[in-house]
Amino acid sequence: MTPDEDDDALSWAGDTDPTLVPVTTSAPAARKTAQPAPEAPVEVPREPTALDIAEDAEDAAAEAYLEAAERDTAQLSSAMLIAYGILAGVYLLETVGWLVHVLRNQIAAASVFQVTDQIVQFLAVASAPLWLAAALLLTRGRVARTRVGWLLLGAFVLVPWPFVLGK
């Protein structure tokens, strides 16, 4: 067996046909480069229309909303959780303190002034939980430090001195 016969066994007739050459990725690129480049459209700078401005504003609002939502749903750190727990306990104690004071010093509503004194007592009992709720509600989306700051302020302002002093 001659080497030529071996080569014949490993090839098919017509392998050298140029029309059967597989198309490679470089072929179209080559064709593209061969063709003259189409003229690129000249970009004319234009003023933003009302629609563009409205879309930009809408995008900005959506981003702000998403940022706020992320802040709202962000997980609290352990330190913050402990701080909230301690402050909630302090507010609970203050509420109990005011309640005990009011129950010890009940006022009979005999005149208009005594009715208003009763209202003042009721408001004093409601002060601690209302401050807690207001601080949590109105500082939504703010930094945790701001929220804790408002809660600390309330804890100091609303100390039930009448109860502390044994009244």
Residues within the interface to other proteins (CB under 8 A)? 98, 101, 116, 119-124, 126-127, 130-131, 133-134, 137-138, 157-162, 165, 167
The DSSP secondary-structure symbol of 76 reads P
Q: Which amino acid is at 106?
A: Q
Nearest to other proteins of 24, 49 (CB atom): 49
Smallest gap from Cβ 121 to other proteins, in A, equals: 7
Q: Of the two residues 147 and 160, which places its CB atom closer to other proteins in the complex?
A: 160
What torsion do the CA atoms of 57, 60, 66, 72 make, to the nearest 10 degrees?
A: -100
Q: Which is nearer to other proteins, 45 or 166 (CB)?
A: 166
Q: Which tokens in the block code for residue 31?
A: 């064709």
Here the tokens at position 65 are: 């909303």
Q: How far is the CB of 136 from other proteins (least distance, A)?
A: 11
3-class secondary-structure state, position 75: coil
Query: Residue 90 or 131: which CB sits closer to other proteins?
Result: 131
Contact 136, 68 (CB under 8 A): no
Least CB distance to other proteins at residue 60 (A): 17
Q: How far is the CB of 42 from other proteins (least distance, A)?
A: 33
**φ, ψ for residue 37, nearest 5 deg:** -65, 130
